[in-house]
Structure 1
Amino acid sequence: MSTFLRDRRLSRALSAEQLAGQLGVHPTSVLRWERRERLPGPGHIHGLARSLAVDPAAVARFFDEARTDAPDPSPGVRAPGLRRLRSAARLPASRVAEAVGVEPAHVYRWEAGRTRLPLRHLPTLAELLAVEAAELRTLLSTPAPPPAVVDRPLRRLRRRTGLSQEAVARQVGASRHSVGAWERGQVPPLGVVRRLSRVYGVPVATVARAAGVTPPPLLDPRRWTPGDLPEALRTLRAWSGRTQAELAARVGCSADAVRGWERGRGVPSAVLRTRLEEAYGLPAGALLRACPRTPTPGSPGRSHPA
């Protein structure tokens, strides 16, 4: 059996779970596609091609190779409603396939509209599905309603700005698939939460709630008490997505100074506190609340709290 899909996935260092997350499916579906036990629809074929960086035609050929059966010359019907009927009867595709004497792949192709269901199978299906034979043809031709789109809070924030997933992805430095995964419930990194808040023009806490992330208590300056400065600075930087070197360049000091403040070795001078507050969008004087009452001994950029 060809391992084309699996080989491509492994060559891109993707687990089945990661690929499933990008496509919005269960990891079991990815494994079944790789073994050609199930056939994806056109949308997932294109999604696989994007995620695996291959031509969609190559993915389609991979699945076409599994179709060793000759076309059935007998007349048939389109059966997009078969999956709904099968689910209502709690029947796996393998059971339906066994009843009519075909491979499970045939059942999936009928349900996806890729081939017609031969008329000679209708009496057997009517009995299996406990449906009147006269009704079955009509029920089979009635497609299932499209799945409802779950309007999750993070998706609502994006739609309110009028931005596409692709536009948001460019602004936060991620892929469109990652943005989609976050909107489906995958928790984004803390740095991304901060960047999303800037893109959507809302507080970090608003994005955090929408994404299912619990903000650390020390992200709120109102909770600071004297001596909280090191942990407050670490928390602020983590949520900003900056490195110590990036923050140092932003406020005009050394990375050693930033490292010292975050380890409790001294406090920033009044000028540097003002720059830190500007960098983090804090009210003027907010950091003073977290400074220790007794200045700690020397570190670069230290001064007594004013």
Structure 2
Amino acid sequence: MEPGNSTQISKFLLLGFSEEPELQPLIFGLFLSVYLITVFGNLLIILAVSSDSHLHTPMYFFLSNLSYVDICFTSTTVPKMLWNIQTQSKVITYEGCITQIYFYIHFAGLDIFLLTVMAYDRFVAICHPLHYIVIMNPWHCGVLVLSSYTISFLYSSLQSLTVVQLSFCTNREIPSFFCETNQVAQLACSDTFICDMVKYFAAVVLGGGSLAGIISSYSKIVSSIKGISSAHGKYKAFSTCTSHLSVVLLFYCSVLGVYLSSVVTHNSHSSATASVMHSVVTPMLNPFIYSLRNKDIKEALKLLFQRKQYKR
């Protein structure tokens, strides 16, 4: 393409879900409600874990980190969309778009790594219960979480830098409610080979490696549970994994939906819907899954509310 047809634009347009004016209040109310539920739900998990000394264990330490990441993950995209609807504007600056790409990838990566670490935690607890306290000591747990943050930071920085190197044409309309790497790269006039390679490399090595780690952990967990003689023992052991396994299935199914909608259908509406499931709905459901299926969290939440009532 000739240089004259390419320019370094200063802003993009986020088309969102619909351009119908009468639907905007409905979309605004729906996403505001979901966002508030996500923030308060995950915040309650963090407060419950921090306020109850019985929950100061590796499993709940990782859970509170996951809740924090989910709050940040959904905060990367939804507030900007709500602001655009409220101001009747579709504009996001170039700098804002790159920043959104960085944090979206960063917190999505953290979700993946933390779910993998939590699977490892369940593996140690069930397969090596006598050595659990020694293996999952505070220092080791801190290293696992810090490693997750570091790897996610490096990957999101690398992916953002590849997007920064792209040159864009006059077309600046993104058919989504946030700046997603694939959608932004499709607007580029320059070669996107490096950007695509970094994305696919991360999907195979980081995403695939994490999924392999989760599958490996649960295959060993299942083998260990089969060796338990009593039915009650089997149920008790597996019940500690059900919440995490539900979140893993929900997360990876939504990721698969985003991938298939972008690669197979090439339909912008389908891609946007899949992105909502991944970046908005999943973080909202996580605290419900952990609180409804976990007696310890329920008890901690009851104590938390009782303390607030006593203070009044």
Q: Same fold (TM over 0.5)?
A: no
TM-score band, normalised by shorter chain: under 0.3
The structure number with the bigger radius of gyration is: 1
TM-score, normalised to structure 1, is: 0.26
Higher helix share: 2
